Amino acid sequence: MQDLLMGAIAAGSGFAGLFFFRFWRHTRDRFFLFFAGSFWLETLNRVALALLPYANEHEPLFYLVRLVAYGLIIAAIWQKNRGR
């Protein structure tokens, strides 16, 4: 059951990344590219958690990937709202 939920979360994150990537292709705004990259990192993180035999969600490596993904979101928001 847990692998099914990991797959659903990974698929949702992957589709969200495609959604933001599509907006980036139309606008060329880095905000959307950062969001797409963040969701794709989260997708890779969930896939690795589901496929690696002894992967545990509480291992620091998986938290580091999440930290980078959330850092991309924060960087996108900061870059969009900073003064020109």
Q: Residue 9's pLDDT is what?
A: 93
pLDDT along the chain (84 residues), means of 10: 87 96 95 97 93 84 93 96 80
Q: Residue 65's pLDDT is what?
A: 93
Question: What are the extents of the domains in the chain?
Answer: 2-81
Q: Residue 46's pLDDT is what?
A: 92
Q: Residue 59's pLDDT is what?
A: 86
CA distance 57 to 29: 33
CA distance 68 to 4: 25
Q: Residue 16's pLDDT is what?
A: 97
The Cβ of residue 37 has, within 10 Å, a number of other Cβ atoms equal to 21
Q: Residue 54's pLDDT is what?
A: 84
For tokens 């002894």, the residue is: 54
